[in-house]
Structure 1
Amino acid sequence: MFTLILAVLSASAAAGMRIALPLLVISLFDEDKLWSKLPFVAKINPRVILAILISWSLFELFASKKLLGQRILQIFQLIFSPLVGALTAVTVVEIAEIDFTPTWIIAVVGAVFALVLTLVQVGWFFRLRGIPIFIVILEDILCLSLVLLAFSAPQQGGLIALLLLWLAIRSSKAWRDWYHHKKQCSPQKN
């Protein structure tokens, strides 16, 4: 059970970084089960879905290197990362063929985890006025690695995801301290 939770956290962390790339990798693992259970998507040909995911993944990979592209992607990530986090979490449970009765709990954990990482990413974007390119490349590599680790080595992937959560918590404390320091240094208005 603990291994399942770590695998779910690993896949959800990847969904918190990118939207289409985790879905693309998961769909390559399990094309039939993933899309056949979604009501609206089940009617679409899997090849069309695969083409859309490949196109959006390429857009994410190239647009994330420019400032305007980062802004556009963050809007989509804020909207869709909880949905993709929930979908990847439930898919990991189904691919592992573990009977976990309240599936919605796994979906909520995945959605919240993906949203938290996306919010931290947006916070750093506005604090730094753009994410440096070496961090974006590292994020792409980490996203792909986390999805692959969710299936091949869930303990390691889950530990990396927990480390990312710890960094997110540390970031929020750093932002809080920075905000209070900035507030104390600014002149008082009457």
Structure 2
Amino acid sequence: MIEILAALSAGAAAGMRLGTPLLIIGLLQGSNLWSQVPVLSRISPYVLLALFTSWSLFELFASKKFGGQRILQLVQLFLSPIVGAIMGLAVASATELPSWIIALIGGLLALVLQLVQLGWFYRLRGLPLWAVFLQDSLCIVLVLFALDAPWQGGLIALTLLWLAIRSAKQWYQWYWENRQNRE
């Protein structure tokens, strides 16, 4: 159960940002940069460090402007399930569950949260700056909780999933109201 909560927390972090969670996971492993992370352990740690640092900085600065948010939304939509799966496997390495289940949990939660973020982006015509700062902070907190406090991180991830479901219900009602008003 702890591994599932840790995978949920890591998947939720990957659903908000791509480079930052992977960078934090690697840096917290000390001198063994990404050596315990499946898939990434086969790539040179210096290449990964440069890649994740530059992508994290791009996410940090691009997310503050509308055009940058639009580019990030497209890239994150396609890569968030992959990063969520990698993050889930990274934090739940010693589990009795098959690794594909952990990867599926992390990847699907990352995709769901990314779809909700995309929906709000288009409905609001860009995310407000306070929401972007909240995402950045929550992403870091979720990664740290996935490693050190999986219960709390899993509960936050489940709360985010609940909010995503509520958002989908609200969008559905909003869509039907607008459709009836046009007819």
Q: TM-score normalized by structure 2? A: 0.94
CA distance in 2 between partners of 1:91 and 1:125 (Å): 29
CA distance in 2 between partners of 1:107 and 1:134 (Å): 31
Q: 2:132 pairs with 105, 130, 136, which one?
A: 136
Q: Helix, strand or coil for the counterpart of 1:17?
A: coil
CA distance in 2 between partners of 1:170 and 1:32 (Å): 36
CA distance in 2 between partners of 1:32 and 1:136 (Å): 27
Counterpart residue type for residue 21 of structure 1: T
Quick check: 2:89–2:103 contact (8 Å CA) kept in 1? yes
CA distance in 1 between partners of 2:147 and 2:159 (Å): 18
Query: Quick one: structure 1 residues 101 and 159, their matched pair in 2 at CA, closer, same or farther if it must change by over 3 Å?
Result: closer
Query: Quick one: structure 1 residues 61 and 153, their matched pair in 2 at CA, closer, same or farther if it must change by over 3 Å?
Result: same
Counterpart residue type for residue 39 of structure 2: L
**Equivalent runs, 1:75-154 vs 2, <5 Å:** 75-94=74-93, 98-154=94-150
Q: Give the CA deviation at 1:54.
A: 0.6
Largest Rg, 1 or 2: 1
The list of structure 1 runs, each at least 4 consecutive aligned residues, that deviate by more than 4 angstroms after superposition, is none
Q: TM-score normalized by structure 1? A: 0.90
Aligned to 1:4: 3
Measured against aligned partners, the alpha-carbon deviations of 1:22-47 in whole angstroms (never above 9, x if no partner) come to: 00011112324245x428x72x4311
CA distance in 1 between partners of 2:165 and 2:142 (Å): 19
Counterpart residue type for residue 73 of structure 2: Q
CA distance in 1 between partners of 2:23 and 2:59 (Å): 12
Q: Give the CA deviation at 1:99.
A: 3.4
Equivalenced residue count is: 180
Measured against aligned partners, the alpha-carbon deviations of 1:29-72 in whole angstroms (never above 9, x if no partner) come to: 2324245x428x72x43112101111100000010000000000
Q: Give the CA deviation at 1:84.
A: 0.2
Q: What is the percent sequence identity of the aligned residues?
A: 56
Aligned to 1:161: 157
Q: 2:177 pairs with 174, 177, 181, which one?
A: 181
RMSD: 1.4
Measured against aligned partners, the alpha-carbon deviations of 1:135-157 in whole angstroms (never above 9, x if no partner) come to: 00010000000000111111111
Return 5+ residue gaps in structure 1 as ranges: none
Quick check: 2:25–2:34 contact (8 Å CA) kept in 1? no
